[in-house]
Amino acid sequence: MESMIRNVRVSVTALAVGALIALNASASFAQSSGYSSDWRNPDSSQAQAGDTQVQGLVDELNKLVDNATTAGAAHPNFLRDLRDLARRFDWPWRKRVLFDDFTDGNVSANPVWKVGGAPVTVDRYDGVRFRVSMEAPQTAAQTQRFSEPEDIAVQILGAFLKQRSSSETRQQAPATKRQEESILVTSAATANQFALQADIVFVNAVNGYIEMGVIQGTDGLGYRVAIRPRARDAAVEILRIGSRGGSVVNSARVAAATWGAQPATQPKTVLFTRDDAGNMNVSIDGTVVLTANDRAFRDGFDGFIVRNGGGDYILKSIAGYSK
């Protein structure tokens, strides 16, 4: 028993030192080279090999920490610090279920996106351009074009547009100008634990917001991260869209400078993750800006959504991962 504990101690210490050297070296190189370590070309064999090596190191570290905890082979505070280190570099969402950088110049294939509301433009070099401003309310005829569900994406768009129309009728909203919206939805099954990453240029978003997230069923239920990059009350929110409506799980103020000067030209990397325990994180360019915990949804999700609620944005790429 003492021999096993001694071996575990040596293994944990050696791997911890190796992990610190390898991970810090990787981060230092990314900073010194002037390139972001957050970006990964999914088709790059070099990126895949590097990610695999780091993840293998993290997996091995997690196993040894588990063994050391069971055997009492190291101080609890030391093991806690090692777990925190591993968590920083861990990527448990191993299965990629969605990727689109729009270099094919369309949203109709590989993957198929359904577009609702205001139209979008697609450029094989720039990505998807959303421009949403104050417009007259949609007519019933415009809403009906999504009334024939072909798949889950079309059904979800129909539900959104019908819900919005009925809500406006109940509230007797004046038939004056209001903020339109533009929606992109794609079908891609993912587990309850997911990661969604998008590169977005916040071209001109002073008075609007953009959402992205996962959807369940045909009513658009699920989790979303909403970014409201307004000058006076810039905020990031995690939303839960349930059968009784939407609610804010948690929110945080974010400096307007985070999104760049208006009009912005450089993309920001937005990462939205959820783990086994219902913990959700939102990071901007590698910095965590919001955390929350919610277990309202226990099952997997059926697709992904991007929604422009006002403003001018460019979606350069988007990737979804499942555990």
Q: Which residue do the tokens 């972001």 mark?
A: 36
Could you read off the pLDDT of 189-232 as tens digits, one per residue?
Answer: 999 999 999 999 998 876 789 999 999 988 889 999 999 887 56
Token pair for residue 322?
């499942």
**Do the bridges between strand 235-242 and strand 268-274 make them parallel or antiparallel, or are there none, so unpaired?**
unpaired
Contact between 197 and 214 (Cβ < 8 Å): no
Q: Is the pLDDT assigned to residue 38 strictly greater than 50?
A: no
State mean pLDDT over 245-256: 90
C-alpha closest to that of 116 among 166, 162, 173: 162
C-alpha closest to that of 289 among 223, 226, 202: 226
Give the E-state strand segments of the chain in sequence order: 95-100, 114-117, 120-123, 127-132, 134-135, 178-179, 182-190, 194-204, 210-216, 221-228, 235-242, 245-253, 268-274, 279-284, 287-293, 301-308, 311-322
Every domain of the chain and the residues it spans:
2-91, 97-322
Instruction: Give the total residue count for the chain.
Output: 323
Burial class (CB in 10 A: 0-12, 13-18, 19+), 165: middle
SS3 per residue for 45-98: HHHHHHHHHHHHHHHHHHHHHHHHHHHCCCCHHHHHHHHHHHHHHCCCCCEEEE
Distance separating alpha carbons of residues 311 and 295, to the nearest angstrom: 31
pLDDT at 42: 46
pLDDT at 68: 80
Least confident of 124-138, 139-153, 293-307: 139-153
Fold of 97-322: Jelly Rolls (2.60.120)
Q: Is the pLDDT assigned to residue 17 strictly greater than 50?
A: no
DSSP type of residue 233:
T
The CA radius of gyration of the chain, in Å to the nearest whole number, is 22
Going from the C-alpha of 130 to that of each of 93, 153, 160, 188, the distances in angstroms are: 29, 19, 18, 22
Q: Is the pLDDT assigned to residue 18 strictly greater than 80?
A: no
Could you read off the pLDDT of 159-178 as tens digits, one per residue?
Answer: 665 555 444 433 333 443 44
Distance separating alpha carbons of residues 61 and 52, to the nearest angstrom: 14
Q: Which residue do the tokens 């293998």 mark?
A: 56
**Do the bridges between strand 120-123 and strand 311-322 make them parallel or antiparallel, or are there none, so unpaired?**
unpaired
Token pair for residue 74?
């190291």
Could you read off the pLDDT of 42-92 as tens digits, one per residue?
Answer: 444 334 444 667 777 777 777 777 788 787 777 888 877 777 776 667 778
pLDDT at 56: 73
